[in-house]
A and B are shown apart, each in its own frame.
Chain A
Amino acid sequence: MPDDVALLLRRAGFGPTAAELAAARQVGYAATVSAKLFPPGPDIGATMAPLPQLGPDPYAGRPNPSAAQRAAADEQRRAQAEQLSRWWLDRMTVADHQAAEKLVFFWHGHWATSITKVKSPQLMLAQHRTIRQAGDVAALARAMVVDPALVHWLDGQLNAKDAPNENLGRELFELFLLGIGRYGETDVKEAGRALTGWQIDLAGERTVFDPRRHDRGAKTVLGTTARMDARDLVDLLLKHPACPRFIASRLWFRYASSVAPIPPEVRERMAAHFPDPGAMLRALFAEDAFRATAGTMVKQPVEWLVGAMRQLGVRPGNAPAETVSQILDGLAGLGQRPFTPPSVGGWPSGAAWLTSAAAQVRLTLAAKLARLLDPGRMTPQDVAYMLGIDRWTDRTYAVLRDASNSRLLLTLALVSPEYLVT
């Protein structure tokens, strides 16, 4: 079924181009799932957007900056943060391995860390690199628990044996690895003790372990008593039977439905492939329950924007800096500026993206995108093909038919209800 292939590519990546869609339809749904989503070898497209060089954090090695130094450093950080966000949007747009790229975005929302508190673009980039390079869920969890940006976001650098800070420990249970209800308050406090001793080395863009601040005593977590440290704690949680199921349910939440709960048998079949997230996703995409969610998910703003840029053939890397700046502000207005999740619980979902306030920002943003290209003469059918829309409703068709020029036609298509939902 052609519709299923379009659904698959829209959910697995950010938004397929007409060419990608045609190629996938050629090989069919099953083959696309099994062989094409996570292809071996390097991502040729992505080589156009290599990881950026931000230079050092202006605050690194400057413990007591003067007011003037502080102002200059803040300005430099602002510019670096913008460079970083611009790069990521560009990378998402040019990457050929869309499923891998989308998964990076998923993990960013899962281990939701915001630069508004972390401040250092270098630490955010270091975390991003960690997400990209982790082999699987387990490796990622082991790296994240001592990731400098996450540690700073959840006050881990202040967590010492004399007075433990349990912020990071709690979220490790509740939001990152097990889900609520799988642990007790004592587990949280004990986990906090296991996580003591990590300090942030801003210049080195890493955390360092200070044994003097670490609580070396025995801790009892989820019934296991040992002299646990951060790594032991994470390994313990990864071995818990709730962990693979929790990760499966979070993948379902973002890839299949943020409304309907994951069917238990789907959850079990996905969990069987833990800790390989790609294999868990392939298992999900093979389910009838996945295809049955067609038309129920609202595109997240980043999915909407990056998908549109891919389909329009424009890329942030080639657009004027000022335009990209405005696009990033637009994403902030829609509630999803990369590197800035609103809470440690991650991005909102579903109908939460469909406020009238967002509708207004979307109109402006769509017009900005349409101005980046010269579309020539186009019909509503041409635009449907370009954007991978199965068919326009009578309502939208009538609106598009009456558009006085191609740019307006494209703009209206990008904001159409059909294009916002997958």
Chain B
Amino acid sequence: MDLVTRRRFLLASGVAGGTALVGGAAGLSLAELLRSGDREPAGASGGPAKVVLVTLYGGNDGLNTVIPYADPAYRAARPDLAYRPEEVLRLDDALGLNPVMGGLKRMWDDKRLAVVLGVGYPRPDRSHFRSMDIWQTASPAGPVSTGWVGRWLDGTDAPLEAAVSFEPVLPPLLVGRSRIGVCVSYRGVSLPSWADAGLVAALGRAEPGEPEMQRQAAAAYGDLLTMAQVLRETERPGTASDAALDPPDTATGTGGSNALAAQLALVTRCIEAGVPTRVYSVSLGGFDTHAQERTGHEALLKQLDDALTTFVTAMARTPAGRNVTVVVYSEFGRRVRANASDGTDHGTAGPVFVLGPSVVGGLYGEQPSLRDLDDGDLKASTDFRAVFGTVLASVLQADPAQYIDGYRGSPLPFVRTA
């Protein structure tokens, strides 16, 4: 898809599910991506700093993730959903992590986990699709056609592989005006036994003058062959089976992947191969827990905790990995009060996790009050643009004000800068 078509595609995506761009759209296969690593040997310094953005689709319940266990108002608002003080993994005498997040707790103890509290934006929108757009475009004022990473790609004239998504579809986050991040499928590929690679390759050639979609249908066969080859040549990443990764079925589907571990395994592989990508985008879906929340939410947090722990442990092993920072966010938190269904409805502010070898652990910002509510919802205490602005300033060494409209102030000190 050419840039103009792709941008129109995005602009037209007002309604649900339409935020989708396509795998391989920018014409970079996993093989080519890994090969690009040869150009830039990491060396002892580990190369430039990198960020991995983890998007939790569906609206993660922040109050049951970073739990204000000591506040009686927490328990009063959601008696059947609340965790008891002795259950949580304590961060301090007011807040604790969900009991299933043992890995993140260890990172906290190692001072490698920063928790930014009460992150949101003015005049919260409770549509999954619009709110996610706001986070990814960093434009709460109104819809814009570029993501904040996409604008950084534009501004730095970044090479094709500078921003990569291992999600099923390319998120608006990575869409710029003239540059667009690359989408790479995380699933293994192989040709059916009868399929002659020569025939498939021939089918994958572009025909001059054919319609854009037809050209793209052809390109997918070319990509398939390249990826089939590279996956034969190299060891397969640790892809867990689909069945084991099924999201809990208590949540209404709202997008996102269910294979976070597989996506992060590919990120690990790219970083260890010295690929010059600066921004990786991965996701986990299923957080829309309107009913019978506790079991489903715990399963998701466990999946998140396991995947992040494995990833950060791997990162700590190499010089390149030690320059990697992970940011975990969701489009909104959930209502303070539980609904009648042992679940929670769409809310507002929530915590953002920042973790990795160069992160300065600790709490940032202020936990929103459970008494001073905005129509039953938490009041955000930190603007999300401060978090992404810090990523731009401290990880990507860019000027946040250039890429985030309305960014003010100085970066939060959660990343150690050299």
Binding site for B on A (CB under 8 A): 114, 116-117, 119, 153-155, 158-160, 162-167, 170, 174-175, 179-180, 185, 188, 192, 250, 253, 258-261, 295-298, 341-352, 354-360, 363-364, 367, 393-396, 398-399, 402-403, 408, 412, 415-418, 420-421
Contacts and interface: CB of A to CB of B under 8 A. Distances in A.
- Which range contains the number of B residues in contact with the other chain? 35 or more
B287 interface: no
B346 A170 contact: yes
Contacts of B8: 259-260
Given A345-B255, A357-B185, A295 B211 contact: yes
A402 B196 CA distance: 12
Contacts of A119: 249
B17 A354 contact: no
B202 A180 contact: no
A188 B290 CA distance: 15
Interface in B242-269: 249-255
A162 B337 CA distance: 12
Interface in B1-53: 1, 5, 8-9, 12, 14-18, 20-25, 29
Contacts of B218: 395, 417
A153 B252 contact: yes
Given A259-B8, A343-B17, A355 B215 contact: no
Contacts of A298: 213, 217
A170 B126 contact: yes
Given A165-B291, A296-B213, A417 B203 contact: yes
B70 interface: no
Contacts of B255: 342-343, 345
Given A160-B340, A415-B203, A345 B17 contact: yes
Given A170-B126, A348-B17, A351-B1, A363 B200 contact: yes
Contacts of A394: 207
Given A166-B346, A344-B253, A350-B213, A158 B12 contact: no
Given A155-B291, A164-B340, A355-B185, A417 B217 contact: yes
A259 B5 contact: yes
A356 B182 CA distance: 13
Contacts of A398: 202
11 contacts: A158-B340, A164-B340, A165-B291, A165-B341, A180-B129, A259-B12, A347-B17, A350-B213, A356-B29, A357-B224, A399-B199
Interface string B159-202: 00000000011000000000000000101011110110001101
B220 to A, nearest CB: 4
B339 interface: yes
A155 B12 contact: no
Contacts of B346: 166, 170
B127 A174 contact: yes
B332 to A, nearest CB: 12
B185 A344 contact: no
9 shortest interchain CB distances as A-B pairs: A345-B16, A158-B341, A345-B17, A355-B23, A356-B223, A343-B253, A163-B340, A417-B217, A295-B211
A167 B169 CA distance: 25
B195 A363 contact: yes
A344 to B, nearest CB: 5
Q: Is the interface of B mostly helix, strand, loop or mixed?
A: loop
B253 A114 contact: yes
A167 B191 contact: no
Contacts of B25: 351
A393 B210 contact: yes
B253 A352 contact: no
Most interface-central of A163, A358, A412 (chain B CB within 10 A):
A163
Nearest to B29: A356
Interface in B70-128: 126-127
B306 interface: no
A412 B202 CA distance: 11
Given A185-B375, A343-B252, A395-B218, 15 more contacts: A158-B291, A166-B345, A253-B15, A259-B12, A343-B255, A352-B22, A356-B185, A356-B221, A357-B189, A360-B189, A394-B207, A395-B202, A415-B203, A417-B203, A420-B214
B227 interface: yes
Given A345-B255, A395-B205, A356 B199 contact: no
B398 to A, nearest CB: 30
B130 interface: yes
A258 B21 CA distance: 12
A357 B223 CA distance: 9
Nearest to B195: A363
A416 B1 CA distance: 18
Nearest to B376: A189
A292 to B, nearest CB: 12
A260 B12 contact: yes
Nearest to A169: B345
B241 to A, nearest CB: 14
A165 B340 contact: yes
A357 B16 contact: no
Contact of A421 (B5, B206, B217, B343): B217
A375 to B, nearest CB: 16
A180 B341 contact: no
Contacts of B360: none
Given A297-B213, A355-B23, A417-B217, A344 B338 contact: no
Contacts of A350: 9, 22, 213
B349 to A, nearest CB: 15
Nearest to A396: B203
Contacts of A348: 17, 20, 169
B216 interface: yes
A163 B338 contact: yes
Contacts of A159: 339-341
Nearest to A174: B127
A347 B20 CA distance: 11
